[in-house]
């Protein structure tokens, strides 16, 4: 039996278009840094926005929040959310 930790990660961003546009790249960079740091400790990370368009990789509305959570759950992310 494996004791490997698997977590789901989704990041939200302000829904205002001008704020998303200004902050999207920096927030995606920070999310990537979090994933790399966790991976370096042997923790598997399932990103909720993985596979979505760049603008939707961060959840900025209710529909995307639900989509990110569904993506995590479908990949076995369980109930461990950061």
pLDDT in tens, 62-81: 999 999 999 999 988 655 44
pLDDT at residue 82 in the model: 47
Give 3-52 pLDDT, tens digit per residue. 788 999 999 999 999 999 999 999 999 999 999 999 999 999 999 999 99
Can you give the pLDDT at residue 4?
Answer: 82
The pLDDT of residue 77 is 62
Residue 1 pLDDT greater than 70, yes or no: no
For the residues of the chain, what is the DSSP string, one character each? -----EEEE--B--S-HHHHHHHHHHHHHHHHHHHHHHHHTT-EEEETTTTS-GGGSSB-SHHHHHHHHHHHHHTT-TT-B-
């Amino acid at each position: 039996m494996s004791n490997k930790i698997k977590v789901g990660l989704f990041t939200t961003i302000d829904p205002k278009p001008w704020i998303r546009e200004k902050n999207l790249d920096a927030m995606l960079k920070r999310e990537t840094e979090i994933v790399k740091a966790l991976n370096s400790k042997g923790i598997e990370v399932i990103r909720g926005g993985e596979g979505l368009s760049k603008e939707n990789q961060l959840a900025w509305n209710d529909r995307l929040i639900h989509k990110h959570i569904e993506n995590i759950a479908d990949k076995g992310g369980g109930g461990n959310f950061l």
